Amino acid sequence: AVSDGMVFVPCIDGYVMALNAKNGQMVWRHRFNMSVCSEPCVEGDQVIFGSWDNYMIAFEKKTGHVNWQFQGGATDSGVSIIKNGKIYSKNKCIDAKTGELIWEFKDGNSIFNITPAYHDGKVYMSCWHGLGLGGICVEAVIYCIDAETGEKIWTHLGGGLSSPVVDDENVYFPSISDPYFYCVDAKGNGDGTTTCKWMYKMSNKVEESTPAIYNGKIYVMSSDGYVHAIK
C-alpha cells in the first residue's frame, strides 16, 4: 500500500515495514509474532496490519507508533478494507480510531479469507465454509451485510476466496466451489435471498483472483489457466 510518499509492506517473516517511496530506505518496522500475508489498509495518518498471530495493529504512518491493538483481527489471503472510519476485516467491523469491536457477523460456520467489498451502506463478504487452511471447501457463500448493524440482508451460494465487485445494481463474483462466475442483484429480494441474473461457466473454479471491471467487461483469472473477459 502506498500513501503520502511511503510504501507499507507486509512480510511473511512477521515484520511489517514502512519504506520511503522515492529511495526505498526503511523508515520504520515492527515485528508481529507470526507471518503478515495481506496488504494493510490506510486512512488518514494510520496504517493497519493484521497478522496470523490473530492481532490487528494500527500504526502512525510516519513514525510506526502503535495507536492500538485488537486481538481477533487475524488476516490471511483476505484483505481488510476501511470506510468512513470503520475497518471491515473478515466478519468483523472495528472502529478505526479506537480499535474497539463494533459488530461481528456469525452464521455458525467457519469463515476463511474474506476480502469484503463496500457499497452504498452495505458490506459484501465472499467466503468459504470449510475445514481450515488447505482443507476441503464444504460450501462457498456470499453475504450482503448492513454496514452499520452487521445484520444479514441476503445470502447467495458462490464466492470463496475472491473479493466481489459491486456497482449500483449488481454484485459480481466467482466461486471456489464450482466453475461459475455469478452476477446477482445487489439489493436482494427482501426475504434474505437475492436473484441471480446470469452465470458464466469456466473450466475450473477461481481461487484467489479478484475480478476487475473495465469498459463494460469483467476480467477474472481462473484455475483453468485462462484469463476470462466477460461482457
pTM to 2 decimals?
0.88
Note whether 150 and 104 are within 8 A (CB): yes
**What's the rounded mean pLDDT across residues 27-34?**
95
pLDDT, tens digit, 9 for 90 and up, residues 103-130: 999 876 666 667 889 999 999 998 877 6
Chain mean pLDDT for the chain: 90
Q: What is the DSSP code string of the chain?
A: -EETTEEEEE-TTSEEEEEETTT--EEEEEE-SS---S--EEETTEEEEE-TTSEEEEEETTT--EEEEEET---SSS--EEETTEEEETTEEEETTT--EEEE---SS--B----EEETTEEEEEEEEESSTTS-EEEEEEEEEETTT--EEEEEE-B-SSPPEE-SSEEEEEBSSSSEEEEEESS--SSB---EEEEEE-SS---SPPPEEETTEEEEE-TTS-EEEE-
Q: How confident is the model at residue 20 (pLDDT cuts 50, 70, 90)?
A: very high
In this predicted structure, what is the pLDDT of residue 187? 93
pLDDT, tens digit, 9 for 90 and up, residues 61-118: 999 999 999 998 777 777 889 999 999 988 899 999 999 999 999 876 666 667 889 9
